[in-house]
Structure 1
């Protein structure tokens, strides 16, 4: 779905630059929309969002649905510099898709692997080197779903560095017939807990964007201040009514899981979803008080990935659920309550 949006954006740009004879395309008009349902769920999402999650509401309910040609530009594959996001967490992706590295006492865990071996080598690995990480220390590659933009570089990392690849059982089943997929190593199951060195990961199957999608919860720290992060495999809205209900059910399930775990950090496979496209610049310009920053308390600016308000992460999931219902109503789909 994201690549369809990117293609639309490129076509849109071509139309604008194609000369006087080119016709400017129109935004979607949704002729089959159930307007009362759109209004109900759109405004319910707005109320849930309040001020703290307003940007997520705008993105998921309006921008990506009504203006997909513009939303796609936020996922264009531009190169972005790598950055250390938390004490032991690093971002090494590109504009269209994120890849992350978690540093543990037993080696490095790479989360997702970009589109192909070339990007894994020239973007992911090169980014690690720029940040002072040794690619030879990669011990595991976690694939959060089976889409090509998540798994494309995994085989390269597996063969080059001997990394063990982890994915859910449905993801492995889908990858069995995928060209260039890694060899199966470790199967992850719903509710599984895996400890790698000094970091414990809790995995929850969250099908929706794909059948094998999973979400990982693990601790991070900001200048020594402990937080709890949830890395979601992707929150795109499925096309079919059945897919939308699967996504909504997964969001409700993970709301309960994330609340019990105390999740207060949003991370995603896409920079437009966790707002990395804004967060990186905020991190680079995060101001410290006059004393040298030794803890999170020494910064006058908050960490952009931390959802500081109580229950803010769960409200974020509720917004995505309501926006999924908005998308259904815009397209004339009636979902069970």
Structure 2
């Protein structure tokens, strides 16, 4: 049974974060480089996020289509070992991460499977139906979930590498397709497409900030965290390691790939600030990403495979480390929009 409820205090946290950002830093005496360096101090555990701190040039718009190029550069869909000088991505085998959480993604983009007991909830659908079959469906089967229904497919945001394989998943499982109401609207009006992506999903289950989805007793809390896209969804979910229960945050979108849009980057800063407060409020001690290179998923999975009985779980890094991730995101995006404003003032 699915139950959606509002989290009013979440809205209060977001409003407070926005107020603090607009007032505390409106007359900031520090430079963009100061915040970039401050953010990098938090990159020890999350080197995959450090590129956000590079303010040597303005963020580029990956979705600009010019006269000579009607599509983005073609990137390899394969996930094989490095050969010669060609840097290509390696596969990540399907793997259990927690008692109730599994990785069924590719080498460059993730799909997470949450086992709620009676059904699976998937987060993201990869680039296209071929990848969905190769990684998600085959991965679920290899993990022993071939006959378990998928009740929900959550799409973190409206980029095709996260929704592209939804068509196959829908045809096989008929799940509810979950996305933020803002992102549904953005996706409906987005003319950009790539030959690497599957078709867009049609509007289904609309999520607003603070909603909680209860699937067979597993509560998934949703937060709209604009920045990467206007309606990016970040998810807080319970994860289980033997007798221990923990809370994980799955950050919905990381990169700045839409050019020097100051207002949008400021919304990213505010979102990271609000999530940092939420991590402290809820004692969230696991940070996950929908791109395995961002949160070090590959290395953590290897460490998990080699884990001894007396060793700590590599994905459980503690509240302080998760806070550091959001401090990096907050400070480095602040550095980005400050640098843009500094350049324009010159």
Using the size of structure 2 for normalisation, the TM-score is 0.73
Give the one of 294, 299, 313 matched to 1:303. 313
Helix, strand or coil at the partner of 1:114:
coil
Helix, strand or coil at the partner of 2:168:
helix
Helix, strand or coil at the partner of 1:257:
helix
Please name the residue that 1:116 is paired with: 128
Query: 2:303 and 2:56 mapped to 1: Cα distance?
Result: 23
Are 2:49 and 1:45 equivalent residues in the alignment?
no
Residues 107-144 of structure 1, C-alpha deviations (whole Å, 9 max, x = no match):
10000000011111121111111111125511110111
Are 2:318 and 1:326 equivalent residues in the alignment?
no
Query: 1:188 and 1:132 mapped to 2: Cα distance?
Result: 30
Show the 5 A alignment for 1:201-280: 201-238=220-257, 239=259, 240-280=261-301
Q: 1:316 to 1:242 in 2, by over 3 A?
A: same
Task: Point out where structure 1 has 5 or more consecutive residues left out of the alignment.
Answer: 1-35, 289-298
Are 2:205 and 1:183 equivalent residues in the alignment?
no
Are 2:168 and 1:147 equivalent residues in the alignment?
no
Q: 1:327 to 1:307 in 2, by over 3 A?
A: same
Are 2:106 and 1:94 equivalent residues in the alignment?
yes
Given that residues 106 and 198 in structure 1 are in contact (C-alpha distance below 8 angstroms), is that contact kept between their aligned partners in structure 2?
A: no
Query: 1:201 and 1:99 mapped to 2: Cα distance?
Result: 16
Query: 2:262 and 2:126 mapped to 1: Cα distance?
Result: 29
Helix, strand or coil at the partner of 2:299:
helix
Are 2:215 and 1:196 equivalent residues in the alignment?
yes
Please name the residue that 1:313 is paired with: 322
Using the size of structure 1 for normalisation, the TM-score is 0.75
Given that residues 129 and 165 in structure 2 are in contact (C-alpha distance below 8 angstroms), is that contact kept between their aligned partners in structure 1?
A: yes
Give 1:155 deviation, angstroms: 2.2
Show the 5 A alignment for 1:14-93: 37-47=31-41, 49=42, 53=45, 55=47, 58-61=50-53, 77-93=89-105
Q: 1:333 to 1:234 in 2, by over 3 A?
A: farther
Give the structure with the higher percent helix.
Answer: 1
Give 1:64 deviation, angstroms: 11
Residues 62-96 of structure 1, C-alpha deviations (whole Å, 9 max, x = no match):
59989x9xxx9999553221111111100011112
Helix, strand or coil at the partner of 1:118:
helix
Name which structure has the greater RCO, CA cutoff 8 Å, separation 6+. Answer: 2
Q: Which moved more, 1:323-332 or 1:247-256?
A: 323-332
Give 1:190 deviation, angstroms: 0.5
Please name the residue that 1:32 is paired with: none
Q: 1:59 to 1:195 in 2, by over 3 A?
A: same
Given that residues 43 and 328 in structure 2 are in contact (C-alpha distance below 8 angstroms), is that contact kept between their aligned partners in structure 1?
A: no
Helix, strand or coil at the partner of 2:223:
strand
Given that residues 283 and 304 in structure 1 are in contact (C-alpha distance below 8 angstroms), is that contact kept between their aligned partners in structure 2?
A: yes
Task: Point out where structure 2 has 5 or more consecutive residues left out of the alignment.
Answer: 1-29, 61-74, 80-86, 191-197
Given that residues 37 and 53 in structure 2 are in contact (C-alpha distance below 8 angstroms), is that contact kept between their aligned partners in structure 1?
A: no
Query: 1:64 and 1:124 mapped to 2: Cα distance?
Result: 38
Give 1:185 deviation, angstroms: 2.0
Please name the residue that 1:168 is paired with: 180
Q: Which moved more, 1:95-104 or 1:153-162?
A: 153-162
The two structures, once aligned, show a CA RMSD in angstroms of 2.9
